[in-house]
Amino acid sequence: MKAVVFDLDGVITDTAKYHYQAWKNMADKLGIEIDIEFNEQLKGVSRIDSLKRILAHGNQLESYEPAEIERLANEKNEEYKDLIQLVTAADLLPGIESFLKELKAHGIRMAIGSASKNAPAILARLGILQDFDYIVDVSEIVNGKPSPDIFLKAIEGLGVAADEAIGVEDAEAGIEALRSAGIYSIGIGVEGDTTLTSTAELTYELLQKLN
Ligand code: G6P
Ligand code: MG
């Protein structure tokens, strides 16, 4: 094992709650009801596709032109960007800071494979932007998760093979993407090749055991 590829939202930090808050406000405005259970289907899914799923959930998808969908997605993102101004290094999920340090100490290469265009800004706010050897620029990716493309780009960027990497994900779409990429998955609160309940359980020792 030479590398770890990380999802961001819900793995490194709990921005998933801010995505949900911003989508919930948008859905309210559109007269569509969404709850925390429905929100599971939005995790790992791109901004535009998330909005389309919400509109379809409210039987409104046919009522909107692409330009209007774009405008609403931008509006959600403006609120989301305001919310992530609150993010600081204190918002790293349990165990992540020490896990990253351990990986670095053992020469393990690290990448971020997130569907979020806000990923670099969030990593900078968390103070860990420099810790990663490669961050996938999702604007270059055509197919989002569950397609394997984001993670294939991540291992290409790190220069490792799929079987030399381990992926960490909290979303079903992300686990599916890792599986299609041929990368061993650790699911946080979601079933993966290895399933954990919390990021606090992530250690270099655990990775050694999976090898
Ligand atoms: C992650 C999150 C999704 C979000 C997507 C796009 O995958 O889990 O909830 O929709 O990124 O994020 P963005 O910041 O570009 O809107
Ligand atoms: Mg996630």
What 72-76 contacts at long range (C-beta under 8 Å, 24+ apart), as own/partner pairs, is: 72/26, 72/30, 73/47, 73/48, 75/26, 76/22, 76/23, 76/25, 76/26, 76/47, 76/51
CATH code for position 43: 1.10.150.240
Mark the binding-site residues, compressed into ranges. Answer: 7-9, 23, 42-47, 50, 76, 114-118, 145, 169-170
pTM summary value: 0.94
Q: Do residues 42 and 8 both lie within one domain? A: no
pLDDT digits (tens, 9 = 90+) for 144-186: 999 999 999 999 999 999 999 999 999 999 999 999 999 999 9
User: Across residues 38-57, what is the average pLDDT?
Assistant: 95
Domain span holding position 52 = 16-86
Ligand 1 pocket mutation, candidates 8, 19, 51, 78, criterion most atoms within 8 A of CB: 19
Residue 20 and residue 9 in one domain = no
The span from the CA of 153 to the CA of 23, in Å, is 28
